[in-house]
Structure 1
Amino acid sequence: MTSLVALLVLGVATATLPACGTNDPAAAPSQSAEPGALPTGDEGVTPAGRDGLGGPGASATPKPTTPAGKALAAGNPNGHATVPAEARAVDTSKPSRTIGTGTPASCTSAAVVKAVAAGGIITFNCGPAPVTIKMAATAKVRNANGPKVVLDGGGRVTLSGQGQRRILYMNTCDEAQGWTTSHCQNQDHPQLTVQNLTFADGNSTGDAAKEGGGAIFVRGGRLKVVNSRFVRNRCDRTGPDLGGAAIRVLSQYENKPVYVVSSTFGGASGQGGSCSNGGALSSIGVSWVVLNSVLSHNEAIGSGANPAKSGTPGGGSGGAIYCDGNEFTVRIAGTVIENNKANEGGGAIFFVSNNRTGTMTIEKSTLRRNPSGKFETRGFPGIFFLGARNPTVTGSKLS
């Protein structure tokens, strides 16, 4: 069911603008928007976001780990945001299993798929030179194996979807991967970490679930991304309720945040991701902490927003980041978001908290040259925001 949020536009006319849709029956009813959206072209209709999926559950806080060495040049070297212990790379000096026997030929798609299904701490031994592993199938996490699943490329490994398939998949509510609790939508495991890896040419276009996540799709458990690159990933070009050319996330345990640390999404012309919404990251009811990273040259290429305007397929919001739901937070620190664009709203970031409880903070970051094709929030270039209050911006430049 798609619900609507009315948005009062400040300008020469009063109109409503597109936001995010939902098929979740638990979605909150329509809310009246606060003033502050500045249209830059034709306006559509703004629906409410979808609630996060949650329920009762308990587990101990993941044990802090020591950071692994960095061999991959990713992220913003001028970003100096403090990285909390739980957001740092996992120590992989004692792996559970190793992909490869020292040569590029031994590092195969089949070996990656097998290792990811087995879980644990996974490293690569593909020789001293950089290697690209062409994935012939999507690597899928088995929910009973873990509880930690760590994939560490040592800075020399690229996993390529060859423009044909998603690269990595975890879904605690996918019966085919095994149900391990009675509350799959809110469980603390598996805890997936990807670090020192490049994800290239992932493509979830045509996926039957129409969710997005060209390189990585995650529902449930926890996700952390450290010192990794995402280039040329794709998901469906049109549609009002899908997104995340690089990463799509749903239902994180107790709404604990997804950490993205010292990572790059795009990084140069022709290297960015593209999807109907969320050219890099997309989520529903999920919190994010993005530290010392770069998101650039990503695109939200859908049209018609959400719900889709008459005669359009829908989509086109959140050039780099697209997130909706009810109570969730986004924190961006030490990060550069530039040269992204959206056909509809939020050339850099699209944020809709349906019940107006969500908050966003931007610290010591730069957002620039992120054109919003049709609408954004007055005073926040490249951002469309509906939440508890205006975004808190400190030590940052928005232009």
Structure 2
Amino acid sequence: MRATPVVVLLTAGLVALAACGTGGPATPAAAPATTSPGASPSTAQQATPAARTGLGGPGVSPSPSRRPAVFRVGNPDGDAPVPAEARAVDTSKPTRTVGTGTPASCTSAAVVKAVAAGGIITFDCGPDPVTIRMAATAKVRNANGPRVVLDGGGRVTLSGQGKRRILYMNTCDAKQGWTTSHCQNQDHPQLTVQNITFADGNSTGDTTEGGGGGAIFVRGGRVKVVNTRFVGNRCDRTGPDLGGAALRVLSQYENRPVYVVNSTFENGTCANGGALSSIGVSWTVLNSVFTGNQAVGRGANPAKAGTPGGGSGGAIYCDGDRFTVRIAGTVIRDNRANEGGGAIFFVSNDRTGTMTIEDSTLRRNRSGQFETSGYPGIFFLGARNPSTPGSHLS
């Protein structure tokens, strides 16, 4: 298929996506005054909470009493500066610990319980690497925080066993408790995952908020990812706008960026966004690696007649109106998309979005049907062409 007709088709249908890029489901309606779990906000709850800015200060993650684990993630050659709020949270004084010193004590049930309780969570599973096979998805309770930090100390892998999503946070999910009257734009909970591996997560068939997020799904509050590895995660193979085999994010507080720092994304598979996917969300990706991820849907977005849709953004899929993407010190290689953007698919419906790729390498990212001329592996519609200082695209 020639590139021009497909791009025209995409452009003609982009306006239809604007609504999903600007807000998602409506704010929950007023409800009876109650504080029972899963209920709508009471009158007292509807007051805007005091600001809780940032996602936790910088600090050394492993407890000083434990020897550092050998945990190699991210791009060792990346030297993009990392702002303070994007660094690992200090977990030397944890709120709670999963495990009592042995692998057997580190169970799925213990992880689920700890995440629901919130706070700074570390692991004590013995001196060797351990894989915790998740029998249920760990879900953040919105009232328990404001910080929820999950630090694996470089030794812990959480596995979805190819059967389930691993971690879920949604400020607009009544089952997890509404804490404000504006769930789509609140500053908490503030979720951080660091020094940990998420493997074999699978959200296939889960249509909550449109689906996606094979390892982690987040809507609302804030989320950041530091020194973390994602491998072999997946979500639905078809669909025009769902995605994020590793991470799907919606509705971040005041459109502040999702930070992804010194992390690795490998061999993820989804309709779109074999690693990351979002609608109306900004990203800052620093010193990270994306390799072997695939967008396997067919028919693009909006879906061509007779197709299920999808297939864009082999590694990264971003859609919405006004948002920004900054990628620095990062390697994106050997990813592929059946349709457009073997590395990155970026569509700003109102053409206000911008993207900068600094001191990064993009190579061998195959776009099956279309990409933007002069930007191998990228399909881009936004305010202006992407800026690529110090980067190599091939």
- Normalised by the length of structure 2, the TM-score is 0.88
> In the alignment, which of 312, 315, 335 is matched to residue 317 of structure 1?
312
Question: Can you give the 5+ residue segments of structure 1 that lack an aligned partner in the other structure?
Answer: 1-8, 22-27, 31-46, 267-271
> In the alignment, which of 10, 17, 24 is matched to residue 18 of structure 1?
10
The match for 2:345 is 350
1:53 lines up with 2:23 in the alignment:
yes
1:378 lines up with 2:373 in the alignment:
yes
The match for 1:243 is 243
CA contact (8 A) 2:3 2:371 kept: no
How much does 1:58 deviate?
6.9
Q: Deviations over 1:10-47 (max 9, x none)?
A: 86x796243798xxxxxx846xxxxxxxxxxxxxxxx6
Q: Residue 369 and residue 20 in structure 1: after superposition, are their counterparts in 2 closer, same or farther (change >3 A)?
A: farther
How much does 1:50 deviate?
3.4
CA contact (8 A) 1:196 1:226 kept: yes
The match for 2:261 is 261
How much does 1:244 deviate?
0.2
How much does 1:198 deviate?
0.3
Q: Deviations over 1:270-297 (max 9, x none)?
A: xx10000000000000000000000010
CA contact (8 A) 1:323 1:351 kept: yes
- Quick one: distance in 2 between partners of 1:340 and 1:20? 27
The match for 1:367 is 362
Question: Given residue 271 of structure 2, which amino acid in structure 1 is its aligned partner?
Answer: S
- Quick one: distance in 1 between partners of 2:321 and 2:186? 19
Q: Residue 58 and residue 395 in structure 1: after superposition, are their counterparts in 2 closer, same or farther (change >3 A)?
A: farther
The match for 1:65 is 58
Question: Given residue 337 of structure 1, which amino acid in structure 2 is its aligned partner?
Answer: I
- Quick one: distance in 2 between partners of 1:15 and 1:321? 18
The match for 1:36 is none
CA contact (8 A) 2:22 2:320 kept: yes
CA contact (8 A) 1:319 1:340 kept: yes
- Quick one: distance in 2 between partners of 1:373 and 1:240? 16
Alignment of 1:26-37 (within 5 A): 29=15
Question: Given residue 233 of structure 1, which amino acid in structure 2 is its aligned partner?
Answer: N
Alignment of 1:1-399 (within 5 A): 16-18=8-10, 29=15, 50-53=20-23, 59-62=51-54, 64-68=57-61, 71=69, 72-209=71-208, 210-266=210-266, 272-399=267-394
How much does 1:51 deviate?
2.2
What's the RMSD between the two structures over aligned residues?
2.0
Question: Given residue 389 of structure 2, which amino acid in structure 1 is its aligned partner?
Answer: T
- SS of the residue 2:367 aligns to: coil
Question: Can you give the 5+ residue segments of structure 2 that lack an aligned partner in the other structure?
Answer: 28-47, 63-67
Question: Given residue 59 of structure 1, which amino acid in structure 2 is its aligned partner?
Answer: A
Query: Quick check: 140-149 or 49-58, which moved more?
Result: 49-58
Q: Residue 14 and residue 251 in structure 1: after superposition, are their counterparts in 2 closer, same or farther (change >3 A)?
A: closer
After TM superposition, the runs of 4+ consecutive aligned structure 1 residues lying more than 3 A away are 17-21, 47-50, 54-58
- Which has more helix, going by share of residues? 2
- Quick one: distance in 2 between partners of 1:60 and 1:92? 19
Q: Deviations over 1:235-259 (max 9, x none)?
A: 0000112000000000000000000
CA contact (8 A) 2:160 2:200 kept: yes
Q: In the comparison of the two structures, how many residue pairs are matched? A: 363
CA contact (8 A) 2:61 2:151 kept: no
Higher relative contact order (CA 8 A, sep 6+): 1
